[in-house]
Amino acid sequence: MAFGPMKHKKMKTEAPLPAKLEASADHLLSVGLDLCHWFSVAALNRTVPPDLRLPTFDRSDPLALLIGNTRAVWPPFMRHLREQLGGDAGAAEATVVQEMVALGGHPLDEWVTQQIADALLMVDCPHALSLGHVMQPSPPPLQRYAEASGFAPLGRGKLSLHPLHGPWISLRAVVVFDAPADAAPHQSSSKVAPSCAACTAPCLTTEVHAPTAEILLKMLSSERRRWIAARQACPVGQGSCFSDAQLAFHYADRGLSKEA
Ligand code: B12
């Protein structure tokens, strides 16, 4: 796992740090990166193996932020995709998704990277950023950080489970700030998802029925549609399921598909 250079840009205003952190989280929210979980690095580092510990800036307890999203990311990202494809605001979602996937690459990862960079520019504080999709030298174990920081435990199907949105969340990045944990703009929710222990949902069985929406049949193999079915089998957060177009985009085969 690699943490990016600890750089920052001075803001002209002298707003207190929690206010700047809040402004930065507001930016993320406005682009659909709507899950911001503030946590204490010291508390996390006490529970993870030494090789997974987060940097501390020589502080006893620095502040960290886990960034993720629900399906709220889709409308702003679709606007961006439409611009990329020449600005046809009326183009059908299915067409945009198919054209974008055909072009290859990882436009969502690129767009998320830009949005997070913009948000961090608003914070006048050194930080270390680790993006979930950066695979060299190794990807940050975001699911483990989500669990160890009390945000979302790993479910039986090996997907992180949010108390409200269930498995329908994506994890994007972790940032450590050279600031004390109590500079967090607000307390993160202490709700946790229900345990899978007593659940009888068929997420791990072959009983799940692969979805058959037209765009999914057109773009995804039956194996990939079964991955979706397993996620849909979770009883938690069913109202937060991604749309068919979003599913087609996330689950499309791009070699090592990891955007969802
Ligand atoms: C590499 C990777 C993959 C690889 C896994 C290869 C492997 N097993 O080595 C591939 C490309 C196959 C993959 C597939 C999928 N992935 Co993936 N993947 C990642 C990634 C980028 C890194 C994981 C990692 O190596 N962590 C470091 C190691 C040290 O930590 P670890 O805890 O041991 O990690 C293991 C698990 O995370 C596991 N894993 C990764 N993804 C998935 C998904 C499922 C369902 C399962 C069972 C396990 C699993 O593989 C890792 C190595 O063994 C993470 C993002 C991140 N940075 O965490 C997303 C991530 C874990 N993947 C995710 C998803 C959704 C998927 C897919 C369901 C959809 C998709 N994108 O196509 C599929 C499902 C595959 C299935 N069989 O059901 C989400 C999970 C969200 C959540 N709610 O938990 C993440 C967090 C990405 C994101 N943007 O949110 N993934």
pLDDT digits (tens, 9 = 90+) for 181-232: 999 998 888 788 888 998 999 888 777 788 989 999 999 999 999 999 999 9
The confidence score (pLDDT) of residue 256 equals 54
Residue 139 in contact with ligand 1 by CB distance below 6 A: yes
The residue whose C-alpha atom lies closest to atom 16 belonging to ligand 1 is 258
The residue whose C-alpha atom lies closest to atom 71 belonging to ligand 1 is 258
Query: For the chain, give me the number of helices (H) and strands (E)?
Result: 9, 4
Testing ligand 1's pocket by substitution, the residue of 133, 143, 216, 231 carrying the most ligand atoms inside 8 A of its CB is 143
Nearest residue to 162 (alpha-carbon basis) of 172, 170, 152, 154: 152
The confidence score (pLDDT) of residue 3 equals 75
Query: What number does the ligand 1 atom closest to the CA of 230 have?
Result: 78
Domain ranges for the chain, please list them: 17-194
Residue 140 in contact with ligand 1 by CB distance below 6 A: yes
Question: Contact, 161 vs 236, CB < 8 A?
Answer: yes
Nearest residue to 44 (alpha-carbon basis) of 28, 29, 30, 56: 56
Residue 134 in contact with ligand 1 by CB distance below 6 A: no
- Predicted confidence pLDDT, tens digits, the chain (260 residues): 777 655 554 545 578 999 999 999 999 999 999 999 999 999 999 999 999 999 999 999 999 999 999 999 999 999 998 888 886 777 788 888 998 888 888 999 999 999 999 999 999 899 999 999 999 999 999 999 999 999 999 999 999 999 999 999 999 999 999 999 999 998 888 788 888 998 999 888 777 788 989 999 999 999 999 999 999 999 999 999 999 999 999 999 876 555 66
The confidence score (pLDDT) of residue 254 equals 75
Task: Give pTM, 2 decimals.
Answer: 0.92
The confidence score (pLDDT) of residue 209 equals 84
137 prior amide bond cis, ω within 30: yes
CA of 171 to the centre of ligand 1 (A): 10
Give the HSE-up count for residue 16: Cα atoms under 13 Å, Cβ half-sphere: 6
CA of 142 to the centre of ligand 1 (A): 9
Measure the CA–CA gap between 178 and 204, rounded to whole angstroms. 41
Query: What number does the ligand 1 atom closest to the CA of 68 have?
Result: 90
The confidence score (pLDDT) of residue 257 equals 53
- Spatial strand order of the sheet with 62-69 comes to 35-40, 62-69, 170-180, 127-131
The confidence score (pLDDT) of residue 32 equals 98
CA of 156 to the centre of ligand 1 (A): 14
DSSP 75-137: HHHHHHHHHHTT--TTS-HHHHHHHHHHH-S-HHHHHHHHHHHHHHHTS-S-EEEEETT--SS
The confidence score (pLDDT) of residue 124 equals 84
Nearest residue to 39 (alpha-carbon basis) of 194, 191, 175, 192: 175
Residue 132 in contact with ligand 1 by CB distance below 6 A: yes
Nearest residue to 235 (alpha-carbon basis) of 198, 210, 206: 198
